[in-house]
Amino acid sequence: MSESIKAICWLVIIICGFVAVFVWSDDRPDATVWKLRIGCITVAVLALVPIFKLNTRRDHVHDYLGDLSGSFFNRKGFTFSFEAMAIDGTAYMYAFFQNQYDRPCVGQIALRPVNKLFRGRAKIETIRYKIDCAPAGFGFARIAIPIPQDLQGKPLQFEVGAAAEFPEGKGQRLRFDDGVFLRTNTDFVNSIGTANAIVSSLNIFGLLMGSMNSTNPAFAIISLPKGVAEHVPDQRVSEVQTLWQLDDEPIEGGIRRFLHQGLPSQRC
């Protein structure tokens, strides 16, 4: 809902801007033109008020994902980011996640290499996660992946898709950093279609206000580890672990330090 409100407000500001170009270019303004000039400014300022309020709300729980990743993707309140790590000679793709709401959700994530012109896709199969996320839950899902020798130690661009369901409804929103709104589903298709031109046209404004909308396949550039296996066993399944959830004691000492101390086998 807040996303729609901001989109409408930015649309109002854009319209005011177009009108202002014409009315302020009139070198012989009459009373009507002056009313339009003042009206455009007034309406634009009023439209900024809800945007400012929505972007300055204080979180009710700590944003552990923001601390860990800085930026993240957002699918209907299920937020996540990626990191590839090497553990005992095997590469693991981690999806760190956190629920923005006080009710549980089921998140699904899909990740695949971008199809490059003349080069095709890198030889890494689509990575898929299914995550049962507790209220406000923060944690990770990881899966072992094979990395061809020629890709090891290099950054690789991936397409990102996701889906999220809240079986009990969303409830109250607890974290307010929007991140990058993700429109593509787990088949990497824009699930709202191209009709949502309003949100698409507002990306630049979203960036200025600390968020962004992605209506085409979103991309993540992930640095791949080196010195890892080029083959891993088939029938791989993702491991999911919740590190914190609503009503738990806060994680002290910083999230990176917590991961180092509490989960040493992950070698973060």
Let me know if 109 is exposed, middle or buried by CB neighbors in 10 A (0-12, 13-18, 19+): buried
The phi-psi region of residue 25 (left if phi > 0; otherwise alpha if psi is between -120 and 50; otherwise beta) is alpha
- Residue 81's nearest CA partner among 92, 94, 91 is 94
Let me know if 195 is exposed, middle or buried by CB neighbors in 10 A (0-12, 13-18, 19+): exposed
Rounded to whole angstroms, how far apart are CA atoms 74 and 71? 10
H or E element, residue 77: none
- Residue ranges of the alpha helices (H) in the chain? 2-23, 31-55, 64-69, 197-201, 203-208, 255-262
The predicted structure's pLDDT at residue 267:
43
pLDDT in tens, the chain (268 residues): 566 787 788 889 999 999 999 899 888 889 998 999 999 999 999 999 988 877 778 999 999 999 999 899 999 999 999 999 999 999 999 999 999 999 999 999 999 999 988 788 999 999 999 999 999 999 999 999 999 999 999 999 999 999 999 999 999 999 999 899 998 999 998 865 544 444 444 444 444 444 445 446 689 999 999 999 999 877 667 899 999 999 999 988 778 777 766 554 444 3
User: What is 122-169 written as a DSSP string?
Assistant: -S-PPEEEEEEE-TT-EEEEEEEE---GGGTTSEEEEEEEEEEE-TT-
pTM above 0.85, yes or no: no
